[in-house]
Every structure is written in structure tokens, then in C-alpha cells.
Chain A
Amino acid sequence: MARTAAESAVRTLAGEVIERAAPEETVFFAAACDRFLARARRAEAAPGGAGSRRMRAARGGGDDDLLGYGVGEAVALLTPVVLFIASAVVQRLAERTGDALVDRGSVAGRRLFRRLVRRNRKPEPQTTAAAPALAVRREQLPELRRLVQEAAAGAGLGEERTQRVVQAFLDSVRVLDE
């Protein structure tokens, strides 16, 4: 599927996190990611409240459940949470440091940043190339940890799962030593 670089960054980061933290969810990750990004695009195009709408986009609809199996409590899925966090991480990094924070190859944050600050301009050309792993400097790892931890706790994950997600995020980014 054609996608922007920012979306590719989110997809790559979230996919690596899911593979580490919840491998059983890789079956539907691609479908969930497509839907999340599509709904996020619509949410950001609408004025105001994009964040909460992105979370709703991640959680999904499911309003036609009256014909489903009907028994069973909802499974606490990591994919929506991880997608939400990955999106927030890419966006935050782009906002804070712009191109400097992001690796030359990791154009996702830059393009996302540009897109955020120039929302009314012509949309970026889409690319089908898979984005490489997100790269951050070592001194920025604590900030990344804090960011993921807050988002995961805010999403209602338990202590154990929060730690697992945080570690998966830290393991999924490329650290620049210089």
C-alpha cells in the first residue's frame, strides 16, 4: 500500500515493537496498521482533537457486534496502544528536534514534521519504500523512555506490560553514538 514516509516510520517502529512485545498480534498487525493510519489521516485532516481521535482510530469501531459470537471479554491488545505510541513518538521527535534528531535515512519524522507545520500545503509524494529503523541519540533515550512510559500508562497497560512495551521500543530504535 502506498504510504508517506512518516507513516512508514510509524509502521516500521510499531511492527518491530509488536514483534518483540506481542508476537501473537503480528497476524493482524498489517490490517490494524492500515486502518489506524487511514483513520489517523482523516482525524488529522479534521480540525481539533486529533489525538483523541487517533486513539479511537487505534481502538477501532466494532459497532456491528450484534451478529458476532457474543460471548467473551475483550482481549487487551497491544497493537492499538503501540500504534498510538509509535505515532506519538515520531511526532514528538519531529516537533522537538526537527531534522537534527532524526537520522538522514529516517525521513519519516522530517516529513511528518513538515506536514504538521505546513498542513495546508500540497501533500507529500507517497513512497512505497520501507523506512529504516528510527534513530535517536543516546542522550535522548531517557526522554524516549519517559514518553513511551507515560503513553503506555495512560493507555491503561499494567506495570508488567508497560515495561515490556518500553523495552521493546528502546530495542527497536537505532541509537546514534556520535
Chain B
Amino acid sequence: MSEVADPRPAAGWAGGDPDQVRALVLRLPSDVAIRFGVLVLLTVATTADILIMTLGAATGADRRFFTCATESRLFTTGVDTAAYQQFSDCFGAGAARLVTAVTVTLVLLSVVVLIAFLAYPRLLVRRRGLTPLHPEHHPELHAYLQDLCRLAGLARPVVFLIDPTTARPVGQAFGRTRRHQLSLGAGLLTLYATNRPRFRSVVLHELAHLRNRDVSLTYLALVTWRVFVALVLLPWALVTVFSGLWRGAGPDRLATVSQGLADLEWWRVAILLVLVFLARNAVLRAREYAADARAALWDAEAESSLRRAAMVTTRRRWWRPGPVLVHPSPRNRLAALADPVSMLVPSIWAVAAAGLATGLLVKHFEVPFFLLGFSGARVLVPGLLALFAGALGGFVALLGWRIAAYARLRGRFSPRLVLVCLAAGVGLLPATWLTFLYPRLPSGGATGLIVHAAPALVITFAVLWAYADADRWLTATRVERVTAPIVRTVVVCAVLIAGWAGWWSDPTWRNDLPGLVAIVGGVRDEIATLGWGWAGWLPHLVVELPAAVLARDVTAQVAAILIWLVPMAGIVGRSRSWPAGTIRYATRCGLFAGGAVLLLDLVLRTVAAGLKPDAPTALNAFAMVVASWQILVIGLVQAGTAVLVRRSGPGLALPALFAAYLAGLLGFLALVFNSVAGGCLPWLDGCGSWPSALALSRTGLSIPIIGTIMAAVTVSLLRASRRARLAAAAQRPPVGADPVDDLGDAPAAPHGAEARRRPSAARLAATVPAALALIAVLGVGLADRVVDDAYANTPNPLPGQPLSGDPAVTAAAVRSWLRDGGREAVDALEAASDALNAADSGADPAAVVAACRQLDAALARATQLPPPPDAEAGESWAKSTDLFKKTIAACPARPGADSSWQSRQRADHLTFGRASLLVTKLFLTGALQHAGD
């Protein structure tokens, strides 16, 4: 999407004054930070990927892995502790070597980047012949430049340099933080005499780079790119090509090089390279908008001069599209100058790239973390989780703040912002296909859609949460002090995402969806025996699935608590957010709602008493359904309470949230009361016999209640202890009239109508239950349908037909294939390849010839079979047989008749053939395990 936004004038929050708007925009985290983060993550991920490939081959770790796995017979018989221990003993040393090599190389590269970054200013001065502008030679010009520095408010002096090589009217800010330098091109210096406003605007633009503190980031980006190309990419390409040329012979050389590149999946590296290049250019482009805005903020004449400069027609080169350029197009610069608010909306591509970079980082560090496990450090899941949550949490928080400020300044929540929110989650997904690891999750069909849509939706919600958090802060606090709130949002977002990462069967390190679907499906079948139809299974789906996913791990529970607790705790101490009358009104509504829950639950129990099944076997399902209805009743009352309070007047968003908390808390107490006392009523069966206790056992159901209790206690304690400070804060003048009016409790506020149109933090936060319910209903419903369709459409699968879908069906077909000769074929190929490997290792020419013949015979039997009835196993099976054919082709006709390159080729084909055979067995075993065999 274009970086040009709607150039409408900003209004509302900042009073429509462009300078005020620019000041607000420049105080918020810039787009440069997001893009620079993308660049760093992409570079690190790509470097790690290339290093693992190169060093894995150089140290022999890749072959060692497959050899150890084959010899220990890992993966062949399911989870075998003894086999794993044998594999670990065999591969542990190789893993340690590889991890050490990768780590040391990464550290060395970082050191090189640092040295190059520190040396860059001196190199630039020397290479371009920059000479200092001496005050004694040019006193008037020097004094003029010092005036501009004072206007820019720079804390440290700037060293001005003359660049005689540049005829264009440009300058360039560079240098480190403590010694900023600014080169003035020869073309620019002539403007000092001939076009002073233009000279002033360009110098102010360059000083704005220093003030925006983007100079270091920019040069770090540039140096990172150059070091990456020189020390990572080029060596990798040279090693790949020349090792192929050396290993091949005659006409086979090109084929060997081609095969080497194909084995390393050169296209994937090429895509990663292009991504890093585009990220670098994106960093360079983004900084220019902010510098223009800063210069325009300092000097109105500079703004008009910058506009005139941008309007100078420049030659357009059709073969250089926008993402390739290192400077924004004049059109985009003009648009950003005319409408500084547009700078707050990151381009959808940049946001998607942030998600992609995070995904790639996680995927590419999966192997090092996995290998670290051999040293006894259990860092795989915690390490990946920390990387994932840290990186994405930072992006999400910055994105939320920018979007919140955009919506505030525009006075509305543009639909385009939803796309921006969605882009982060969608960008996460392609990372699965840009790694050399096999995607372990279904990539097609409805199940694949669910698996991949869930992270996208959850990340979208994370952005919306960050938006709501930022919006609340922007409403209640002074915008001059946003650093601490932004850091807080980053931390909370990271924790939330870490927790939510456990909610979905994510494409990074877990695959729990089939198990989850099976559990929910089993309970659904049980409920179906009641014969209640949708009234039975729908509440079950809505309630049971969140409860099931929340119960998975501690981080998920923490995240669920934080959803509700953080906004509550955060608003305490903000007197303008909590006028006394408002909180009393919200408390009354919450108490009333609690009473309503008490009565409604009694009615529900009474109705349920009449529907209670006679069969004792159905009582459990009945109890679950009634408990689900109880929870739904509480949720509905909470939602109704929030709506009631919110609609009472503008500015009641947060009190509405508080009322919903109270409703949930009292509703839970009502369930307990009815279970203990209400059940003793004459028309109900006995005290304490009703299934409300089931609600207490549901982690997912109890967590919001725990959160509510904690929030209420926190609010009470903080409110009591900070009463005096709140009173003082209430006297503080507001930032703008609008936010204060929005938070007041006067329904007839002058800006009330506008405030109603504005996005509300609570409205978005209140979408949590709705979003979860939607995910649950759509996700489980679709997944169940997939299972049903698999059973309905393939009742009798034929061996040899690749299948996807139902694991049970696939497993049955795999069993059939193994029984009909597959097992013997696999074993024969394995034995023959092992024998050839041993003969090659022993350098026994006669044994080599014998083993070759044995492999030939085994291959002849194997090729008579159909491929395994599993898509992935079939693919690796075909690969292994093809490699074994090449192995046999490289066998000597008689003992000692092969050349050295021939034996090398045979060894290569044999190694990869054995590896593919091992992978085949892995997939076959996995297919059987999925079905519980």
C-alpha cells in the first residue's frame, strides 16, 4: 500500500494547529524504530540461517545428525528413551560444536558491525575529502549555522564540514551521539548566497535528523547491511559455488553446483536477501518524513521551501519502484508535509514485515535452541517464547500507540487501521515457508485455515489491546510524558503475547490442535446424548474451548488476568479518569447486575430441574451444559451492564468496564451462593448438588473472576492511599478540551457527540469475550466439520494414495502399506545403505561392490511398491529412492574401479538418501502416532 495517506487537515485533539499536530507526532515512537527493528530481526534471522547451513556442512554436524539418528534408530519405534539417550550421546558433541561455532560467528559479526559503525564517520570524512568550516574563514556563514543549531535546540555542538564533491544542494548528518557532524555539499553552499531560504530549509532538515536521533540508527542499518553482504552472503555464495566446482568433475561440475544450491534452497536465501535489502531502504526512507516534519515545525518558511524543493520535477525511473528507493518520492514527502498525521500510520507492508521478521527470527533460532538442549539447557520453548513475545510485543506496542494517536488526531478510527492491525498477524505466517525446517502443521484445508488464522486474529487483537491502552493514556495524561507508558505497554504486550502464544496451535513450536479438537469433540458427543441440539453444544463450545486453552499453561493464565487487570490498575491515580460521581454510578450498576445474576441463576436452575435427565450416565453432560449456561448468563449480564453504563453518557468507557468487573465478581458469588444455599430450596434437589462447583474447576472461568477480585482490591487500596494525590491531579489543566470532556460525567458536554463517534478503549477491550467466542465457534465448528468430512469422503482409503485430513484414516492406510511390503522394503533399504556406508568408511573396495549390489536389489523391490499413503512420507520416500538410484549410478563396476570424485558423489548421495529414508520413517511413525497407535 502506498505510504501516502489521506492529506486531510488534522483536527480535534490538537486543535487543528499543524505545528501542534507535528509536535505530537514527533513525540511518539517513529516509524524508523519499527523499520529498524524489522531490519535487525531479518538480518539476524537470515545470518543465523546461513550460518547454520554453512557451519553445519563445514563442521559435518548435518551428516552427523542423520548418522546418529539412523544408528540409534531414533524415530523408528515411537518415543524410545533408550534410543533418544543413544542419539544424544552420539550427537551431543557435534551439537555443542555447531552451537559454539554459530554463537562465536554471530558475536564476531556483531563486533565487526560495531567497529565499522564507530569507524564510519572517519572513513566518510577521509573518502569524501570533507574539510571543517572554519569560523575565521567564513564568520558570517558560521554564525548563521550556529543560529540554526540554537533554533534546533541541540544539546551538543555540531561540527560543520564542507563537502566539495557534491554538486547537489544536499547535506548529510552523520557521526556518533557525542560528536555530531554535518556535511554541507558544494551545491548547497552556493544556495547560501543565491537562495537563502532553500539553504536554511535543507540545513534544518539535516539538523532535524540529529534532533530526531535517527542518525545512529541509520548508519547502524547501513553498516549492518554492508557487513552482512560482505561477511555472510558473499562467503556463503562463494563456498557453495566453489565447493561444487571442486567436488564435481568435467560436465558434472555445473550440475554439482546446481545441486548444491538446490539443496540449500537458494530461492529461500534470495527471498531473505531481498527482504533485508528492502528493510534497509525502508529505514532510510522513513527517517526523511520525520526530519521534514521537524524542520517544518521549527520554521514555517522552511516548510514552504521544503515543499518547493520537493515539487522540483525529478526524473522518474520506472525500473526503480518505491520500495527500492532510499529516499521517499517527492509526492510522498509533499503529502507528509501537508498532513503530518498521515505519518502515524505505518504502511501495511512495514507492519507485515514486522510479523514476518519475528516469525523468521523464531524459526531460525529453533535449531540453535534445540541443539542447546543437548547440553542440558532446556531453552527451546522458553527461548523461542521470549524471542517471539519480546519482538512482537515491541512491534505491537509501538503500532498500538501510533494508531491510537492517529485516531485521536483524526477524530475517528479509520477502517484502514484494522487492516494495519491484521497485517502484523498475517505477516507472521509466511515465515513457516521461508525456513528450511519442515512445516509441521497442516497448511491446507479448513484445518490449515484455522491454524493460520488464529495467530493472525490474536495478534490483531493484541494490537487493538495496545491501541486501547495507548488511547487511555493519551486521553488521561499529558502527551509530553509518554516514554514510560510506552515502555509499560511494550512489557504488557510481550507478556500478553507470551500468554496468548499458548492459546493457539501455533506454526512455530507446537501442534496441539488435533488433541484439542479431539477433546472438545469427545465432550460434544457426550453432550449430544442429551438431545438438546444447539442449546446443548453451543454454550459448551463457547465456554469449554476458552477454558481448555486457558488451562494449558501459566503464561496463558497470566495473560488472561492482565487483559482485565492492567487497564483497571492503570487507571487508578488518574483523577480525571475517575470522577467521584462516575465511580459511584458504576458501582451501583455493578451491584445491581450481581443481584440480577443471582435471580437469573435461580430461574435457570429451576428450569434445569425440570429438564434433568433420568439416566445417571447423562448427568455429567447435563451438569456441563447447565454450568455453561450459567457462565453465559454471567457474561451476558456483564455485557449488558457495560453497555448500560457506557450509554449513559460520554466519557464513561472505563467506568463501564469497572461495572462489568463488579457484575462478574458478584455473579460468581451468586453461583456459589445458589450452589450452597439456593440448592436447598424445596423445588431443587438437595444442597450443593448442582454443578456450580464445576465452574470453579474451570480455570478459564475462574480467571476473569480472579482478575476482577484483584482489580477491585487494587483499585480500593490505591484509591485510599492516593486520595490526596488524586485531588491535586484533578486540579491540573487538561491537555485539550476534548479528552477531559470525554472523561467527565456530564452527559451534556459540548463535545459529547464527537466523543461518541470516537473509538472507545473499553469498547475494544470489551470485544475480548466476543472475539474468543467467535474464534471458538468458528474454529471448533470448522475443525469438527473437517473431521466429519474426512470420515465421510474416504471411508476406505486405498494404499498408495496420498491422503491428508483425518489422521486416523491416514494411519490406517499407513498400516496397510507397511503390512503389504512397505516395512520389508524400508528395512531392506536401510540395511543395504548401512552396509554401503560401513564399506565406504572401511575403504574396502570388495565390500563396496557387494553393498552396492545389495542396495540395488533392495531398491528394485522398493520401487515395485506404491509410495507411502502419507503426503509428506511419500515425498521423502520418492526423494530417498531417487538418491539411492544416484548412489548406485556412482558405484564401481568392480572393486577399486571408482575415482575419488565418484566415491565422494556416492557418499553424498548415500548420506542424503539415508537421511530421506529416515525422514520417511519419521513421517510414517508420526502418522501412526497421530492416530494414537
A60, closest chain B residue (CB): B165
Known: A27-B162, A27-B189, A70-B327. A75 touches B168 (CB 8 A): yes
* A33 and B310 alpha carbons, distance in the complex (Å): 31
* A39 and B826 alpha carbons, distance in the complex (Å): 72
- CB-contact partner of A72 in B127, B312, B326, under 8 A: B312
Known: A31-B164, A35-B165, A65-B170. A71 touches B309 (CB 8 A): yes
Measured between beta carbons, the chain A residues less than 8 angstroms from B190 are 22, 24-25, 27, 75, 77
Contact call A79/B186, Cβ cutoff below 8 A: yes
Instruction: Tell me if A125 is interfacial: C-beta within 8 Å of chain B.
Output: no
Interface set, chain A 64-94, CB cutoff 8 A to B: 64-77, 79-80
**Minimum Cβ distance to chain B for residue A75 (Å):** 4
B187, closest chain A residue (CB): A75
Measured between beta carbons, the chain B residues less than 8 angstroms from A38 are 129
Contact call A68/B165, Cβ cutoff below 8 A: no
Measured between beta carbons, the chain B residues less than 8 angstroms from A25 are 186, 189-190
Contact call B169/A72, Cβ cutoff below 8 A: yes
Measured between beta carbons, the chain B residues less than 8 angstroms from A71 are 309-310, 312, 314, 327, 330, 333
Measured between beta carbons, the chain B residues less than 8 angstroms from A66 are 222, 284, 326-327
- CB-contact partner of A31 in B129, B194, B288, under 8 A: B129
Write the residues of chain A forming the contact surface with B, with a CB cutoff of 8 angstroms. Answer: 22-25, 27-28, 30-32, 34-36, 38, 59-62, 64-77, 79-80
Instruction: Tell me if B185 is interfacial: C-beta within 8 Å of chain A.
Output: yes
Contact call B327/A35, Cβ cutoff below 8 A: no
Measured between beta carbons, the chain B residues less than 8 angstroms from A36 are 164
Known: A24-B190, A61-B128. A68 touches B166 (CB 8 A): yes
Q: Mark B111-151, 1 if CB is under 8 A from A, else 0.
A: 00000000000001001111100000110010000000000
Can you list 18 residue pairs at the A/B interface with Cβ under 8 Å? A23-B193, A24-B193, A25-B190, A30-B137, A31-B131, A31-B164, A35-B129, A35-B164, A70-B170, A70-B326, A71-B309, A71-B333, A72-B168, A72-B202, A74-B187, A76-B167, A77-B167, A79-B164
Instruction: Tell me if B218 is interfacial: C-beta within 8 Å of chain A.
Output: yes
* A67 and B210 alpha carbons, distance in the complex (Å): 13
Measured between beta carbons, the chain B residues less than 8 angstroms from A74 are 167-168, 187
Contact call B170/A34, Cβ cutoff below 8 A: no
Known: A67-B218, A69-B205, A71-B314. A62 touches B168 (CB 8 A): yes
Measured between beta carbons, the chain B residues less than 8 angstroms from A27 are 138, 141, 162, 189-190, 192-193
Contact call B222/A67, Cβ cutoff below 8 A: yes
Interface set, chain B 329-344, CB cutoff 8 A to A: 330, 333
Contact call A72/B309, Cβ cutoff below 8 A: yes
Q: Mark B153-188, 1 if CB is under 8 A from A, else 0.
A: 000000000111111111110100000000011110
* A74 and B187 alpha carbons, distance in the complex (Å): 7
**Minimum Cβ distance to chain B for residue A167 (Å):** 20
A23, A24, A31, A79 pick with most chain B CB within 10 angstroms? A31
Measured between beta carbons, the chain A residues less than 8 angstroms from B326 are 66-67, 70
Contact call A24/B187, Cβ cutoff below 8 A: no
Known: A25-B186, A75-B190, A75-B191. A69 touches B171 (CB 8 A): yes
Measured between beta carbons, the chain A residues less than 8 angstroms from B288 are 70
B138, closest chain A residue (CB): A27
A33, closest chain B residue (CB): B164
Measured between beta carbons, the chain A residues less than 8 angstroms from B128 are 61-62, 64
* A38 and B328 alpha carbons, distance in the complex (Å): 35
- CB-contact partner of B164 in A28, A72, A75, under 8 A: A28
B287, closest chain A residue (CB): A67
Contact call B167/A34, Cβ cutoff below 8 A: no
A22, closest chain B residue (CB): B190
* A111 and B167 alpha carbons, distance in the complex (Å): 32
* A143 and B777 alpha carbons, distance in the complex (Å): 94
Instruction: Tell me if B834 is interfacial: C-beta within 8 Å of chain A.
Output: no
* A74 and B202 alpha carbons, distance in the complex (Å): 14
**Minimum Cβ distance to chain B for residue A129 (Å):** 20
B141, closest chain A residue (CB): A27
Known: A61-B128, A64-B124, A68-B170. A73 touches B314 (CB 8 A): yes
B129, B202, B284 pick with most chain A CB within 10 angstroms? B129
A78, closest chain B residue (CB): B190
Q: Mark B627-662, 1 if CB is under 8 A from A, else 0.
A: 000000000000000000000000000000000000
Contact call A60/B168, Cβ cutoff below 8 A: no
